[in-house]
Amino acid sequence: MSAPAPFDHPPRPMAQRVGAILWPSFFAAGVATMVFFAYVDPLQLRDMTFPDLPISRTLGYTLGFFAFWFATAASSLFTWILLRPASRYNRALPPD
Amino acid sequence: MANKKIDIALDTGTPGMYVSESKVYPREVSGRFNTLRTAAVFWLLGMFYVFPWINWDGRQSVLFDLPARKFHIFGLTFWPQDFIFLAMALMIAAFALFFFTALAGRLWCGYACPQTVWTETFLWIERWTEGDRAKRMKLDQLPWSNPERLRRSGSKHVLWLVFALWTGFTFVGFFSPIRDLAARLVPFQWGGWETFWVLFYSLATWGNAGFLREQVCKYMCPYARFQSAMFDRNTLLIAYDPRRGEPRGSRRRGLASVLERARGLLPLAVAEDYAVRAAFNPTAAVTRTGAHGTITFDRSANHEPLPKFEPEQLGDCIDCTLCVQVCPTGIDIRNGLQYECIACGACIDACDAVMDKMGYPKGLIRYDTQNGIDGKPTRVLRPRIFVYGALLVALIAAWTWGVTTRSPLIVEVLRDRNALYRETAQGVENSYSLKLVNKTDAEARYRIVLETAPAGASLSRIPAEIVLEPQKVLTLPVTVTAPAGTRGRAPLKFTVESGDGRVRKSVDSSFFGPI
């Protein structure tokens, strides 16, 4: 530490932060779902994994999309954590 | 020590926000924490490099047999059906991390993280080949055409590469039996994917431990960023005592420690003010160390340069900057708790050695809590310690109980999907496929009975005793025949039991007749 940080961007609005995590991941999940289910039939996938569950094709697509979205959103969230400026969390411990 | 010439960083790039990462040259250090860290490196890397070579019950002690979908860990075998134990093991790891972090800070980072452990090893190689901190800095300024540079840095890279390849080989040895893998090295008979993963893991080791080093901790590790959520003022930290150390400055020999002088410890507010102002107005020596932490001080903190202090006013910090020079993440611990600190304790070792030379008591930088540093009492037993501790103990107990009392048998049933039922001369037939998994290392014998079934139904065409080979899966087609006239859906239960009745597993299914 030899000089104070010259510029510290103020926190962005909540809608921007949440949007920047959920929207790109939604988009990526949509593309991934499309490509994945173009080759994999959800009913065949069901028979290979949980044959006893009453999973229809539509439910399979839905579950697939949300599973993809969960994964991509988790990744976006991780990116957000890593890109947060140090000034947001790198300070002395708060008083008891 | 105060007169000792301090090596000068030739890399004169101005440290700041928007410059590319300047290389950290951690200075060698010895002391209590370095010994502990070395011991941890030997223990952890020892486990990694040695375990695959140890055999247990006639097979590799730790083997993740992906093609067979089985994990062998010292006599325990885990099947895909045991996924719950993997999930629980991860939860145990998470709670252990929370518990030990709340209690004693980033023990994980300082001693156990593979990033730290391998970086440490790569640094040893760097020191053997290129020499100490000052030599390494000078060497890096020379062009590769210089014979000295070529010889020293060249041998460093060769050793790094050999060590990385050995690491990659060992890693693959956890998945593909390592003795067999070694035997197939000469003549070279590795499979394509084996070769790929050896090289890939070698490259990752080489890049992470040789080049990225502290940047992984600073830019890629989420744990460091959560540190403030797990820390409180009663958590053990690596901390500099500003009340004792400030104002810092060089002095002539003979000045006693503040602990033995009238001055004593400064009031906390004064000490913190001095520390912040020293950080904003670094001396030339401090600037040369190129410390680049990102600590954010209170907005209201005073940034004025400090006046020149009389020797009697000085604290115990002689501003030798050794604590900065030994730091593997290149920060100045005197600025207080920073997320970049991996709690390795190198600065404690360095400072203790300096205090010894000065004839001062050790512990100007020490393991202490923020409360301890502030001169307040520390409370170790606090609610979060009990909550994390209780959850940790409960999870470990549940995991141990679960693993030791696992059933040695898995039974699954699947109805024939092609036909709901068949009407034959004998009556109504339903077909099933029973999957039996023998999880033990011994042959097992079971019989199958129908426990719940429509009146008069029986199993047909199956042997009286089923023999399961050790660690094998058997898929058994089973037909259940019920008298003609059985109608609708009826519950069905298969029970598989051993001759002595000790192992007994039931699975439910359904029997269908014409409506």
List pLDDT tens digits, range B108-142.
999 999 999 999 999 999 999 999 999 999 999 99
Q: Please, are residues B443 and B497 in contact by the beta-carbon 8 Å criterion?
A: no
Residues B157 and B241 in one domain: no
Residues B176 and B266 in one domain: no
Q: What number of other Cβ atoms are within 10 A of residue B154's Cβ?
A: 13
Residues B208 and B238 in one domain: no
Confidence band, pLDDT 50/70/90 cuts, at residue B19: low
Taking contacts as CB-CB distances below 8 angstroms, the residues of chain A near B298 are: 91-92
B1 belongs to a structural domain: no
Q: Please, are residues B390 and B397 in contact by the beta-carbon 8 Å criterion?
A: no
How many structural domains are present in chain B? Answer: 3
pLDDT in tens, B81-117: 888 999 999 999 999 999 999 999 999 999 999 999 9
Instruction: Determine whether the interchain pair A91/B295 forms a contact, defined as Cβ–Cβ distance below 8 Å.
Output: yes
SS3 B365: strand
Rounded CA gap, B130 and B155, in Å?
9
Confidence band, pLDDT 50/70/90 cuts, at residue B20: low
Residues B125 and B237 in one domain: no
Which of B 201-220 lie inside 8 A of A, CB atoms? 219-220
Whole-model pTM: value is 0.85
Residues B59 and B144 in one domain: yes
Torsion sign across C-alpha atoms B13, B19, B21, B26: positive
Domain span at residue B143? Answer: 32-229
A92 close to B (CB below 8 A): yes
Instruction: Determine whether the interchain pair B225/A3 forms a contact, defined as Cβ–Cβ distance below 8 Å.
Output: no
Residues B146 and B267 in one domain: no
Instruction: Determine whether the interchain pair A6/B17 forms a contact, defined as Cβ–Cβ distance below 8 Å.
Output: yes
Burial class (CB in 10 A: 0-12, 13-18, 19+), B189: exposed
Domain boundary residue among B196, B229, B262? B229
Pairing of strands B458-460, B427-438: unpaired
A51 close to B (CB below 8 A): yes
The token duo for B72 is 């062998």
DSSP B483: -
Taking contacts as CB-CB distances below 8 angstroms, the residues of chain A near B291 are: 1-2
Pairing of strands B59-60, B444-452: unpaired
Residues B355 and B459 in one domain: no
CA distance B339 to chain A (A): 6
Rounded CA gap, B339 and B292, in Å?
12
Instruction: Determine whether the interchain pair A1/B414 forms a contact, defined as Cβ–Cβ distance below 8 Å.
Output: no
Residue B486: what are its φ and ψ, rounded to 5°?
A: -70, 130
Q: Please, are residues B343 and B238 in contact by the beta-carbon 8 Å criterion?
A: yes
B391 belongs to a structural domain: no
Confidence band, pLDDT 50/70/90 cuts, at residue B296: confident
- What percent of the residues of chain B are helix, what percent strand, and what percent coil, each to the nearest 5? 45, 20, 40
B332 close to A (CB below 8 A): yes
Instruction: Determine whether the interchain pair A89/B228 forms a contact, defined as Cβ–Cβ distance below 8 Å.
Output: yes
pLDDT in tens, B411-464: 988 888 778 888 888 889 999 989 898 888 888 899 998 888 888 888 887 888
Pairs of residues, one from chain A and one from chain B, whose beta carbons lie less than 8 Å apart: 78
B222 belongs to a structural domain: yes
Torsion sign across C-alpha atoms B288, B292, B295, B298: positive
Q: Please, are residues B28 and B21 in contact by the beta-carbon 8 Å criterion?
A: no
Domain boundary residue among B373, B401, B423? B373
Q: What number of other Cβ atoms are within 10 A of residue B167's Cβ?
A: 22
CA distance A45 to chain B (A): 15
Rounded CA gap, B167 and B29, in Å?
26
Place of tokens 């401090």: B286
pLDDT at B14 over 50: no
Residue B55: what are its φ and ψ, rounded to 5°?
A: -100, 150
Mean pLDDT of B10-25: 58
Q: Please, are residues B239 and B306 in contact by the beta-carbon 8 Å criterion?
A: no
Question: Strand pairing partners for B434?
Answer: B413, B476
Which of A3, A7, A96 is nearest residue B233 as measured by Cβ atoms?
A96
CA distance B295 to chain A (A): 5
B19 belongs to a structural domain: no
